[in-house]
Amino acid sequence: MSLEREINKRSGGNCELCSSTESLQVYAITPQKLGDINDNIHACSTCVTQIEDSTITEANHWRCLNDSMWSEVSAVKIIVWRMLSRLRKEGWPQDLLDMMYLEEEELNWAQATGEGQDPEDRVIHRDSNGVIINAGDSVVLIKDLPVKGSSMVAKRGTAVRRVSLDHENAEFIEGKVNGIQIVIITKYVKKI
């Protein structure tokens, strides 16, 4: 069964956030953890647009989270937590966050993008051109880099997919090069 059919069956043909039945799509939660249906939700175009662009978030649209926060699907709970955290200054989202329960692993996944932190406290990773790098993005090396602790040299032009971020240092990201997990300095990469 295809991913889209499985998610449609799970969601009953509705947006798993606001219950809309219009303009539905499979939306992948970043960074992906499991590599299967559980990393994705069924979401309408209105929800997806507002998730991806915080400048157009309409607080009243997200009152639907009062219901979807009780979903048993981890990916749905992750997005609910992120949106409530983004909107918490409205008042009512903080009340819902106080009632919401996430397992420790789910909370770590929800916090992986930095949502919920005050903008002053967020560590922002930027590539050599100043473009923001998010968890799950792909980058390409712009310089040959010797890998400490091995004889390997990561060659310029090597693509590193699905990077993870060091949440305490904006200069470091992690990714796999030739099957080896390495730490990479952000000034030597360009986001693809």
Segment 163-179, tens digit of pLDDT? 888 877 889 999 998 88
What local confidence, expressed as pLDDT, does residue 122 receive?
Answer: 66
pLDDT classification of 78: cutoffs 50, 70, 90:
very high
Which residue in 87, 92, 18 sits closest to 59, CA to CA? Answer: 87
CA distance linking residue 118 with residue 60, whole number of Å:
22
Residue 123 has pLDDT above 80, yes or no: no
What's the full length of the chain, in residues? 192
What local confidence, expressed as pLDDT, does residue 15 receive?
Answer: 94
Q: pLDDT, tens digit, for every residue of 45-67?
A: 999 999 888 788 888 899 999 89
Residue 115 has pLDDT above 80, yes or no: no
Which residue in 104, 108, 127 sits closest to 167, CA to CA? Answer: 108
pLDDT classification of 116: cutoffs 50, 70, 90:
low
Higher pLDDT, 119 or 162: 162
Residue 80 has pLDDT above 80, yes or no: yes
Are the C-beta atoms of 191 and 138 separated by less than 8 Å? yes
Contacts of 178-187 with CB under 8 Å at 24 or more apart are 178/152, 178/154, 180/147, 180/150, 180/152, 182/147, 182/154, 184/139, 184/141, 184/145, 184/154, 184/160, 185/145, 186/125, 186/126, 186/127, 186/128, 186/133, 187/127, 187/128
